Amino acid sequence: MHGEAHIRAEVSLTVTTTLDEPRAQRKPDAICLAPNAQRDLTRKGRNRSMTKRPADLVGEQAPIDLGQQPQSPVGRRHEVDRFFSLSLQLLLIAELDGRIRRCNPAWQAHLGWKPDELIGRSFFELVHPDDLANTQAETVKLGEGKITSAFINRYRCRDGRWLSLAWSAIAEPDTNLIYAIAHDVTEQQQAIQALSANESRLREAERLGGLGSWELDLQTEQLFWSDQIYRLLDIEPGTLEPTYSSFLNLVHPEDRDRVDHAFRASIAEHGQYALAHRLQLADGRIKWVQEYAETQYADDGTPLRSIGTAQDITEQKNNRLMLALKTRRDDALLKLPRITENLDEYALLQQALALAEDLTDSKIGFAHFVNEDQTSVEFAAWSFRTLDAGCQVNHDMHYPLQQAGLWADALRQRRPIILSDYPSHPKATGLPTGHITITNTLVVPVIDGSRVTMLFGVGNKTGQYDATDIESAQLLANEAWRLAQKLRSLAQLTLADQVLAETPQGVAITAADGALVRVNTAFARITGYQAHEVLGQNPRLLKSGRHDRAFYRAIWSHIAEQGSWRGEIWNRRKNGEIYPQWLSISAVHDSSGQVGHYVGLFTDLSESKQAQQKIDYLSHHDALTGLANRALFNERIEHALTRVARNGRLALLNLDLDRFKQVNDTLGHQDGDHLLMEMAQRIQAELLPSDTLARLGGDEFALLLEERAEAPRVAALARELLTRIAKPLRIGDRELVITASIGISLYPDDGADADSLVRHASQALGAAKRTSRNSFQFFDRSLTEGALERLITEHALRGAVRRDELRLMYQPQVRLSDTALVGVEALVRWQHPDLGLVPPGQFIPLAEEIGVIGEIGDWVLGTACKQLAAWDRAGLRVPRVAVNLSAQQLDEINLPTTIAATLQAFGIEPDRLELEVTESMLMRNPDAARNLLAELKSLGTRISIDDFGTGYSSLTMLRLLPLDQLKIDQSFVRDIGADDNDEAIVRTIIAMSRTLGLETVAEGVESAEQQAFLTREQVDLGQGYFFSKPLTADNLLKRWSH
């Protein structure tokens, strides 16, 4: 019996008596249903009407019908009999001891008992043994004048089955008769039992799966939350300090006191804390959680800590709520997909708004889509009623959230909003011209994941909106969004079909059992199988035979655990060719969570494998000569050292062609390459299979000897190599004689590791070149003295800025058309007290290596800007100064800040500072370089690429950079008039610069012929000794002040 169940039966009880009995002896023996006479049979209504006897309530008269004359007792008895015979409900009149006085034919229809079989028997005989005690207790209550409403017990059918019946009954105290009516609720009870069983299994599954846990130290008030608690609360761990008060703040305001009281009571009463309640998340969403906790106490009863768990039960709660609201909303929700089946998105939304208006008794409706940025909305639709009411607002399709009215608070607050009195709201603004009057409004947001996707609103309800309206609008809004997404998905599926057909990757889709259900064109192209040949087949027909069963078992095991697998696999084409492919397999789950399909995407790796093999070869070999490169040579040294570690010997020869750069510059790169290949062949002709020859770069070769590493034999080989190399060589119509220098180090005499042997061979090579060239020299310990000198230089360079030893020279840049001064380039020099004036080519590389180039660069920047300001004060207006940036400076995060501060300190306009970077710097990290240059450009400075043409930048990359100027490297300018190739390169650079709209500067102009060529080719600026060598600041002032 559910004491709080509220059941209303539109019945009146009319007592009829046997006419031939004396009035005092007449007993009511029937009840009849009289329409229009409503009685409340709940406990709550008992004090109003049911405290009287049934006879007092209805008297001895039949229900009054204002349109008819009162009937005779015989007529009333006839109506009761007819009611008993026709009623589909189970009707019963029995004595308080259970003996049945009368029942209707419905007993036979439902339970199989004929009325004659039951009259005189006790209904307790038919009650299920487990329900007997409750039934007897309920009968006692009836005897006490109380009412039975919705009391459920089980009755035995004639065939032995049990049915669950729901009873409503009253008793006549004077006669001890019970008047009862029942209906079959067996199916409902079975459903409730099934639901209860499912919930039990779910609770067990949740226990096994783990719950969010928490622990509260009641002495220190420190609270611990597990990660799952944070996930349950939809917050990142660490973003909210877990305290009892912060937890209470997350509890729904209507539940907060109840939760707090229950928890504190469980501590005070040493009981278990078990409570289901709501949480209100930061974005306005509501979650239901079930909490359990126990408290641990000290021996004296002091509570120490509470330990508990929390489980998200929102879905269960929502399901029950949906069941309760189902009757009202099912028709609308079922109707919407039907009536919008062939409609476009706008018409779909109008139909959804119309249904929402009907459910909420609203007169207007509107919908807006929310863009992904969550800061702007897109008008979607007005409802039919809104338009019929005369709304003439012509909204822009897109507008920012700031321009939206109060209704957009549903987006701002990410929750449904109700504006009960819109005109009186303090933040209400005037409505646009043509907008209909709004008295009140309800707006719900559709939230998809973490994003609000649509605002769905109704308005102008006669009464006030409530929670039921919110739920109705929300359900329809969600359904409308789902259908809109479905429309979009259908469009996307059409696009997906096109993509599937045109994608260059092979695509194979199988059913869960592995049978192929779809392949694309690329599948046929790669495998050779057409779709009709493989559909319905298993993909194992593509197996190459290279992989064993364990390989495939591992793949499917990984898919079962992770949902996907990707990797390299060998398969077989239709023609039998075995080929490599990169394969990705993903499991696709249906709505029930079961695997419905598998999707495989694969790429033919045949060409990339060949390319990779070539890359691997090139990564270990010199592209020009085919010899080992430095990386492979170093590996060979390490391996050789391992083999001869105990008692073996090795020899390392470092060979360099004498004056090769001069030959290369004279003959050109093509003939220089031919010369290098010839030298490689000559050296190889003298080697054994165990020897390793490598080209380390340029004209530098290295040779590792393992079988003839004794000094005399090495010396003999070196002499033979020098002789062979020095033989005349014909290139084109020229006959050349090339010589070489060789440095030799021996293992273990000159070093025990690869680094030492390489370094000492290089030092020996340097000694050979300094002495006589065309010679060889073994390593000698005295050669390490050069390293000491380097250390001394390094130490001196570290303090050069602090000791004010650096100087700036300024080389003018002139306009080629009229040789007017347009700027200067700042060139740093090192004035050492002992070494004298050290040119940058000697100390800049060392500064970069030891990490002081940044300090020097900052000094150059500050000094150059300071000098520019000094010239201004002296009356010389130098338009701009160019400063070279080092790679280390480009890596400094604060470089833009430093430059901005320097310009401000000396009052220099940003566009008078030109920052020069080299191509090689940009190619180290193109993306980072582009971002940095953009930031420097935003300061107003000019950006120039120095030594252009010597790197590997592309036109595509240059187009993305915020450049102002390209400087043609002097190595190309130098050969103008002497080398057609260099002239062609210069023309190409000029054309590229002009295409990009950049200023062009030629470096190293040293002759009138070069100037004439550059002027003819429309180069903008020139710089070089032809115009002026680098000058001190004072000399530049003297020369250019007039």
pLDDT per position as a tens digit, 495-531:
667 777 788 889 999 999 999 998 999 999 999 999 8
Query: How many CB atoms within 10 Å of residue 67?
Result: 4
769 shares a domain with 662? yes
Nearest to 576 by CA among 527, 508, 525: 527
One domain, residues 844 and 765: no
Residue 334 in any domain: the answer is no
> Domain boundary residue among 494, 515, 537?
494
Is residue 178 over pLDDT 90? yes
Banded model confidence at residue 1024, pLDDT cuts 50, 70, 90: very high
Q: Is residue 322 part of a domain?
A: no
CA 91 to chain centre: 65
Q: What is the pLDDT of residues 57-73, one digit of tens each?
A: 333 333 434 344 556 77
B/e letters for 70-108, b = 16+ CB within 10 Å, e = fewer, are: eeeeeebbebbeebbeebebbbbbbbbebebbbbbbbbb
Q: Would you say residue 694 has pLDDT above 90? A: yes
User: 3-class SS at 432?
Assistant: coil
- Cα gap 309→297, rounded to integer Å: 18
- Residue 991 sits in a domain whose CATH number is 3.20.20.450
Q: Which run of H or E residues covers position 581?
A: strand 578-589
| Cα–Cα nearest to 176, from 22, 29, 23, 1 | 29
CB-facing half-sphere around the CA of 812: CA atoms within 13 A: 23
pLDDT at 45 over 50: no
Predicted confidence at residue 730, as pLDDT, reads 85
Tokens of 72: 């005779």
- How far apart are alpha carbons 1011 and 28 in whole angstroms? 131
Please indicate, yes or no, whether residues 441 and 306 belong to a single structural domain of this protein: no
pLDDT at position 562 over 70? yes
CATH number of the domain encompassing residue 217: 3.30.450.20
Please compute the mean of the pLDDT values over residues 645-655 and round it to a whole number. 89
pLDDT > 50? residue 191: yes
Distance CA 700, CA 657 (A): 7
From 283-297, 350-364, 494-508, 875-889, the region with the lowest mean pLDDT: 494-508
Q: Which residues pair with 40 in a beta bridge?
A: 8
Tell whether 616 is covered by a domain.
Answer: no
pLDDT confidence of 52, banded at 50, 70, 90? very low
Over residues 778-804, mean pLDDT: 72
Q: CA separation (Å) from 979 to 276, 735, 830, 969, 971?
A: 89, 20, 35, 15, 11
Q: Report pLDDT for 879.
A: 96
CA–CA distance, 509 with 516 (Å, rounded to integer): 6
- Residue 568 and residue 563: Cα distance in Å, rounded? 17
Residues 774 and 798 in one domain: no
- The percentage of the chain sitting over the pLDDT mark of 70, rounded to a whole number, equals 88
Mean pLDDT along residues 272-276: 93
Q: How confident is the model at residue 1001 (pLDDT cuts 50, 70, 90)?
A: very high
* pLDDT of 353 higher than 50: yes
pLDDT average, residue stretch 331-354: 86
1015 and 945 within one domain: yes
Q: Is 359 helix (H, G, I), strand (E, B) or coil?
A: helix
Whether cis (ω within 30° of 0) applies to the bond prior to 445 is no
Does residue 770 share a domain with residue 885?
no
Nearest in space to 678 (alpha carbons), one of 718, 642, 732, 714 = 732
**Same domain, yes or no: 672 and 751:** yes
Instruction: Give the Cα-Cα-Cα angle 367, 373, 377 (nearest 5 degrees).
Output: 25
Alpha carbon 87 to its chain's center: 64
CA dist 891 and 857 (Å) reads 13
Of 23 and 220, the structure prediction assigns the larger pLDDT to 220
pLDDT band per the 50, 70, 90 thresholds, residue 325 = low
Residues 38 and 177 in one domain: yes
Prediction pTM value: 0.34
Q: How far lies 551's CA from each of 95, 512, 514, 555, 602, in Å?
A: 80, 20, 17, 7, 18
Query: Any bridge partners for residue 598, and if so which?
Result: 510, 587
Q: Are 476 and 533 in the same domain?
A: no
The segment with the largest mean pLDDT, out of 358-362, 387-391, 769-773, 877-881, is 877-881
Query: 321: pLDDT confidence band, cut at 50, 70 and 90?
Result: low
Instruction: Answer whether residue 200 is part of any domain.
Output: no
Q: What's residue 658's pLDDT? A: 87
Let me know if 873 is exposed, middle or buried by CB neighbors in 10 A (0-12, 13-18, 19+): exposed
pLDDT at 790: 63
The residues, any chain, with a CB within 8 Å of residue 626's CB and separated by 6 or more, are 680
> Using one digit for the tens of pLDDT, what is the confidence trace for 127-165?
999 999 999 999 999 988 898 888 999 999 999 999 999
Task: Find the length of the chain.
Answer: 1042
- Contact status, residue 139 vs residue 96, Cβ threshold 8 Å: yes
Q: How many domains does the chain have?
A: 6
Does 339 reside within a domain? no
Q: Which residues, 6 or more positions from 271, have their beta carbon under 8 angstroms from its beta carbon?
A: 265
| CA angle, residues 962, 965, 967, in degrees to nearest 5 | 135
Q: If we measure between CA atoms, which residue out of 294, 289, 247 comes closest to residue 266? A: 294
Domain of residue 232 covers 210-312
Q: How confident is the model at residue 34 (pLDDT cuts 50, 70, 90)?
A: very low
Share of the chain above pLDDT 90, in %: 49
H/E run at residue 881 = strand 881-884
Q: Is the pLDDT of residue 382 over 50?
A: yes
Query: What count of other Cβ atoms lies within 10 Å of the Cβ of residue 293?
Result: 21
Distance CA 381, CA 459 (A): 14
Beta bridge partners of 854: none
Distance CA 991, CA 983 (A): 12
Nearest to 650 by CA among 746, 778, 754: 746
- In a 10 Å sphere around its CB, with 0-12 CB exposed, 13-18 middle and 19+ buried, how is residue 956 labelled? exposed
Per-residue pLDDT at 68: 47
Whether the Cβ atoms of residue 369 and residue 380 lie closer than 8 Å to each other:
yes
Whether residue 627 sits in one domain with residue 597:
no
Q: Where are the beta strands (DSSP E) in 906-941?
A: 913-918
Span 770-777, mean pLDDT? 82
> To the nearest whole number, what is the mean pLDDT of the chain?
84
485 close to 514: Cβ distance less than 8 angstroms? no
Of the three residues 747, 779, 811, the one that is the final residue of a domain is 779
Q: Is the pLDDT of residue 978 over 70?
A: yes
The span from the CA of 965 to the CA of 971, in Å, is 18
Q: What is the pLDDT of residue 502?
A: 80
* pLDDT tops 50 at residue 50: no
The domain that contains 443 carries what CATH number? 3.30.450.40
How much is the average pLDDT of 486-501?
75
> Which pLDDT does position 269 carry in this prediction?
94
Same domain for 585 and 627: no
Mark whether 295 and 396 lie in a shared domain.
no
pLDDT at residue 575, rounded to an integer:
94
Is position 201 within any domain? no
Relative orientation angle of helices 980-996 and 1008-1016, to the nearest 10 degrees: 40
Domain assignment present for residue 32? The answer is yes
Tens digit of each residue's pLDDT (9 = 90 or more) over 425-484? 877 776 777 778 888 999 999 998 889 999 999 999 988 898 889 999 999 999 999 988
- What band does 1 get if pLDDT is binned at 50, 70 and 90? very low
Indicate whether 743 pLDDT > 60.
yes
Whether the Cβ atoms of residue 133 and residue 124 lie closer than 8 Å to each other: no
Residue-level pLDDT at 783: 45
- 876 Cβ partners below 8 Å, 6+ apart? 1036, 1037, 1040, 1041
pLDDT in tens, 74-115: 777 788 788 888 888 999 999 999 999 999 999 998 999 999
Among 605, 639, 659, residue at a domain's last position? 605
Q: Report the phi/psi class of residue 685: left, alpha or beta, with left for phi > 0 and alpha for psi in -120 to 50.
A: alpha
* Within a domain: 392: yes
Q: What is the DSSP letter of 563?
A: S
